[in-house]
């Protein structure tokens, strides 16, 4: 992790960033959203999922999942979602899959679009795609990013392993069962480790501490999801709890969320096993994060179109309509859970926010109880309502206590 002086400097920078986000969150809670108390209360009552209000208004549509959304940067078109041509999916023989349950549901059947590309690889980098995505800011596009950086990174994602999250042939049985493990305090004392490890594939993210909590969170890990920013911040913020190294392993795969130029740059360096050549991570050595045996096959890159689709159709927050809208994106946990929902047959969610979140600490590995912190760049209340609705529809199994 570097010298003590470097650690102190990083912690000071992290504290400054946290203070800024908390101020934004406080402003949003007190000025931008005077109805936040009602929103929280509404989570305790059944809430209809409205797809297309006949007469959209700010109050009526602020907490609902709409098909499109009125904000220009988040407008979807059929043409955008028909790309790309190379197949990313293997046929499923599972009778009671996420796809079959979602399509049968009157609400979610209109929201899920399973033809949306989940991952991005070399064949996506065409002049047409560049011209289209360069008009949208990250993580939903490539606005402000270097053509050379993006192109040289994508050309390295050129194996069949980069085109799909997992090989269905390598999973026994007719249904691929996935567990997505968040870091919520609800898992402390849960004794869900055995149930989590019983799944075919297990997703973990950010400060995924396992040692000492095996009985509650299990030990199995198939995918680790992150942005470079959340990965590095986790290594700093949770070092005191024992998170000093992100998970490594021969069969472990990494899911990059391209939220900034540094994600593309770090990914390229990781594949080439070379120091980061530029940017805020210049000189950093990726092998200390991903291991010396890392190769292109170990890395997956979420498609910007997929991130936009998830945001506009599932988690289009009213935060987008505030002056701080550019800060907003779904949480890492939300993106991992929704990724699993678009690739796995059956999905269980552990350690995610529930209506009684105040009973638990922010994270399961904290010795002393700490309240969940709401930052302005995520909408945790909206995410909580979505998980509850998906659970009620039988599309996910949400662990609750």
Q: What is the pLDDT of residues 351-368, one digit of tens each?
A: 999 999 999 999 999 989
The three-point CA angle 391-397-399 to 5° equals 100
Please tell me which residue, 59 or 305, carries the higher pLDDT value.
305
Map tokens 């994600």 to a residue. 263
CA angle 358, 341, 91 (to 5 degrees): 165
Residue 347's DSSP bridge partners are 178
**pLDDT score, position 68:** 30
Count CB-CB contacts under 10 A for residue 32. 16
Q: Which of 71-80, 129-138, 289-298, 368-377 has the lowest mean pLDDT?
A: 71-80
Per-residue pLDDT, 320: 85
For residue 90, what pLDDT band results from cuts at 50, 70 and 90?
A: low
Output the pLDDT for position 305: 97
Could you tell me the pLDDT band of residue 256, with boundaries at 50, 70 and 90? very high
Q: What is the pLDDT, as a whole number, of residue 54? A: 29
> What secondary structure letter does DSSP report for 363?
B
pLDDT tens digit string along 23-54? 344 333 333 333 333 333 333 333 332 222 22
Look-up: residue for tokens 């350690």? 351
Farthest-apart Cα atoms in the chain, separation? 59
Query: Residues 142-193: pLDDT tens digits?
Result: 999 999 999 999 999 999 999 999 988 877 777 999 999 999 999 999 999 9
CATH class in words for 98-398: alpha beta
Query: Taking all residues of the chain, what is their mean pLDDT, rounded to a whole number?
Result: 82
Rounded average pLDDT over 116-138: 96
**Residue 373 gets which letter from DSSP?**
P
Average pLDDT over residues 294-298: 90
Q: What is the pLDDT of residue 21?
A: 45
Closest CA to 112 of 72, 76, 67: 67
Percent of the chain with pLDDT over 70: 77
The Cα-based distances of 298 to 87, 163, 244, 357 in angstroms read: 19, 12, 21, 34
Stretch 289-306: mean pLDDT:
93
pLDDT in tens, 311-359: 999 999 888 888 878 889 999 999 999 999 999 999 999 999 999 999 9
Higher per-residue confidence, 5 vs 188: 188
Q: Which residues pair with 226 in a beta bridge?
A: 256
* Predicted local distance difference test score (pLDDT) of residue 376: 76
Per-residue pLDDT of 177-186, as tens digits, reads 999 999 999 9
């Amino acid at each position: 992790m570097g010298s003590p002086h470097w650690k102190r400097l990083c912690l000071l920078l992290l504290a400054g960033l946290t203070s800024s986000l908390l101020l934004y969150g406080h402003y949003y809670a007190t000025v931008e959203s005077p109805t936040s108390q009602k929103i929280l209360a509404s989570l305790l009552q059944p809430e209809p999922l409205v797809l297309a209000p006949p007469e959209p208004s700010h109050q009526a549509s602020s907490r609902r999942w709409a098909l499109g959304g009125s904000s220009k940067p988040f407008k979807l078109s059929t043409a955008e979602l028909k790309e790309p041509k190379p197949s990313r999916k293997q046929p499923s023989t599972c009778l009671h899959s996420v796809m079959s349950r979602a399509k049968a549901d009157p609400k979610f059947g209109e929201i899920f679009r399973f033809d949306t590309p989940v991952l991005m690889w070399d064949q996506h980098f065409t002049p047409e795609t560049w011209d289209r995505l360069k008009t949208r800011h990250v993580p939903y596009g490539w606005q402000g990013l270097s053509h050379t950086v993006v192109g040289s990174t994508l050309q390295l994602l050129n194996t069949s392993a980069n085109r799909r999250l997992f090989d269905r042939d390598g999973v026994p049985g007719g249904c691929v069962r996935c567990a997505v493990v968040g870091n919520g305090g609800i898992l402390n004392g849960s004794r869900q480790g055995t149930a989590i490890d019983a799944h075919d594939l297990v997703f973990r993210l950010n400060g995924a501490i396992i040692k000492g909590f095996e009985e509650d969170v299990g030990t199995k890990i198939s995918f680790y999801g992150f942005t470079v920013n959340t990965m590095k911040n986790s290594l700093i913020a949770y070092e005191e709890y024992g998170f000093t190294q992100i998970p490594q392993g021969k069969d472990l795969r990494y899911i990059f969320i391209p939220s900034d130029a540094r994600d593309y740059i770090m990914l390229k360096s990781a594949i080439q096993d070379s120091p980061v050549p530029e940017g805020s991570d210049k000189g950093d050595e990726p092998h200390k994060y991903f291991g010396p045996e890392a190769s292109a096959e170990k890395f997956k890159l979420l498609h910007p179109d997929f991130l936009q689709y998830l945001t506009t159709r599932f988690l289009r927050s009213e935060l987008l309509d505030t002056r701080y809208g550019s800060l907003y994106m779904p949480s890492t946990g939300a993106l991992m859970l929704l990724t699993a929902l678009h690739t796995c047959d059956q999905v269980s969610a552990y350690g995610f926010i529930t209506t009684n979140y105040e009973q638990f600490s922010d994270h399961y590995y904290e010795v002393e109880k700490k309240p969940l912190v709401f930052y302005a760049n995520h909408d945790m209340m909206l995410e909580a309502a979505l998980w509850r609705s998906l659970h009620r529809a039988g599309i996910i199994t949400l662990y609750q206590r």
